Structure 1
Amino acid sequence: MERNLAVAFLRDGEVVDIKGIEYCHFAPFEFIQQFYQIDGLPARLQRYLRLGETRFRDEIINAFQMNKMVLKFPRHGIFLWEEYNLKIEIEGFSLKQILH
């Protein structure tokens, strides 16, 4: 599985720079810990949490790579993880929080 995320920087619709970010920085430990606080978390995500941070991060990586997280509110950096109906806020180059 690819361990890096490519980020393209746009200006006036043209790519002006591309940077690579490691997924461990994109989906930090603090973000993953927020899932423990969600009541009624889907069974599949509960199972991945029990398997550990690395396996849970792999599920997040897979969701991004398979386009299962879609940008819903671009100005606010909010994605929807459609499979689980979870809204996720991105700040800078990392996942920040789960919105309820």
Structure 2
Amino acid sequence: MKQLSVSKNAFDSYVNYFKRNIDMEISSLYNENFVFTTNDKHLSFTFLDEVALVTVNNSEIIEEITLLSYESFITDNFIKEIMNLTCLPPRLKRYKKMGTIRFKQELIENFQLGNFCSEGGNKILWTDYNIRFKLNNNSMRLEI
């Protein structure tokens, strides 16, 4: 298949033609179970296969969409801090024995499955294990 480039005019026409569908698709990215408020903005996180998608809105309008790598969101230091908790449930102790990469993958899978929720402020609850941690709003990184 021949690869063609697309002019700005064609691109703009496409966007205008499908604007309603695009608006609906973007609105569907808002995850009401994982929302943090900073100043007058609301940050909503949706956890996709390869990245976390963050929408920034002001209660009524999504103003910005940002992609956040799991590498920057769930740092190795954060994984080490969780692995050093003395109250780890048996399943997480098994993942701990498998190493940081497997432990991090377990965290990512649980985010994708919706097993975390925001609790107000910048607090996060891992519902399956009743483990709490927080989101650093400035760096968009998890912390104990």
Greater fraction of residues in strand: 1
Q: Gapped runs of 5+ residues in structure 2?
A: 1-47
TM-score for the superposition, normalised by structure 2: 0.61
Displacement after TM superposition at 1:82 (Å): 0.8
Q: 1: CA distance between counterparts of 2:61 and 2:101?
A: 35
Query: Map of 1:61-76 to 2, 5 A cutoff?
Result: 61-73=108-120, 76=121
Question: Is the Cα contact below 8 Å between 1:24 and 1:57 reproduced in 2?
Answer: no
Structure 1, unpaired ranges of 5+: none
Task: Could you list the structure 1 runs, at least 4 aligned residues long, displaced by more than 6 angstroms after superposition.
Answer: none
**Could you tell me which residue of structure 2 aligns to residue 43 of structure 1?**
90
The structure, 1 or 2, with the larger RCO (C-alpha pairs under 8 Å, 6+ apart) is 1
SS in 1 for 2:119: strand
> Which residue pairs with 2:122 in the alignment?
77
Counterpart of 1:86 (choices 131, 141, 144) is 131
Identify which of 66, 70, 86 aligns with 1:23. 70
Aligned residues: 95
Identical counterparts, % of pairs: 25
**What is the identity, as a one-letter code, of the residue corresponding to 1:78?**
K
